[in-house]
Structure 1
Amino acid sequence: MADVAIAPEAIRDTIAAALGAKALNVEVALGEVVLTVSPSDYHAAALILRDAPGCQFEQMIDLCGLDFSAYGDGRWEGPRFAAVLQLLSVSLNQRVRLRVFCADDEFPVLPTVTDVWNGANWYEREAFDLYGIMFEGHDDLRRILTDYGFIGHPFRKDFPLSGHVEMRYDAERQRVVYEPVSIEPREVTPRVIREENYGGLH
Structure 2
Amino acid sequence: MDKNRHEVLAESLTRILAERLVSLHKLFDELTIVIRAKDVHSVSEVLRDHEDLGFDTLVDLCGVDYSTYGDETNALGQSNGRRFAVVYHLLSVSHNHRLRMKVFAEETEFPAVDSVMKIWPGANWFEREAFDLFGIVFSGHSDLRRILTDYGFVGNPFRKDFPISGYVEMRYDEEQKRVIYQPVSIEPREITPYVIREQNYGNGHM
TM-score range, shorter chain: 0.7 to 0.9
In structure 2, C-alpha distance between the alignment counterparts of 1:96 and 1:121, rounded to whole Å: 19
Q: Any gaps of 5 or more consecutive residues in structure 1? A: 1-5, 191-202
Does residue 118 of the first structure (1) align with residue 116 of the second (2)?
Answer: no
Residue aligning to 1:8: 6
Task: Give 1:189 deviation, angstroms.
Answer: 11
Aligned counterpart in structure 1 of residue 147 of structure 2, from 121, 127, 144: 144
- Deviations along 1:57-93, one digit per CA (max 9) or x if unpaired, are 0000100011100114898752100000000001111
In structure 2, C-alpha distance between the alignment counterparts of 1:9 and 1:165, rounded to whole Å: 51
Change (3 A) 1:73 1:103: closer
Q: Any gaps of 5 or more consecutive residues in structure 2? A: 75-79, 194-206
In structure 1, C-alpha distance between the alignment counterparts of 2:179 and 2:139, rounded to whole Å: 34
- Deviations along 1:24-64, one digit per CA (max 9) or x if unpaired, are 01111111000000011111110110011221000001000
Aligned counterpart in structure 2 of residue 159 of structure 1, from 162, 183, 190: 162
CA contact (8 A) 1:12 1:28 kept: no
- Provide the aligned C-alpha RMSD in A: 2.1
Aligned length: 185
Task: Give 1:170 deviation, angstroms.
Answer: 2.9
Task: Give 1:160 deviation, angstroms.
Answer: 0.7
Query: 1:151-190 counterparts in 2 under 5 A?
Result: 151-186=154-189
Does residue 53 of the first structure (1) align with residue 51 of the second (2)?
Answer: yes
In structure 2, C-alpha distance between the alignment counterparts of 1:151 and 1:117, rounded to whole Å: 30
Task: Give 1:186 deviation, angstroms.
Answer: 4.1
Aligned counterpart in structure 2 of residue 100 of structure 1, from 97, 100, 103: 103
| Bigger Rg, which one | 2
Task: Give 1:178 deviation, angstroms.
Answer: 1.6
| Percent identity between the two aligned chains | 51
- Deviations along 1:82-105, one digit per CA (max 9) or x if unpaired, are 000000001111100000000111
In structure 2, C-alpha distance between the alignment counterparts of 1:189 and 1:117, rounded to whole Å: 48
1:49 aligned partner, one-letter code: L
Does residue 133 of the first structure (1) align with residue 136 of the second (2)?
Answer: yes
In structure 1, C-alpha distance between the alignment counterparts of 2:98 and 2:153, rounded to whole Å: 36
Between 1:145-154 and 1:115-124, the stretch displaced more is 145-154
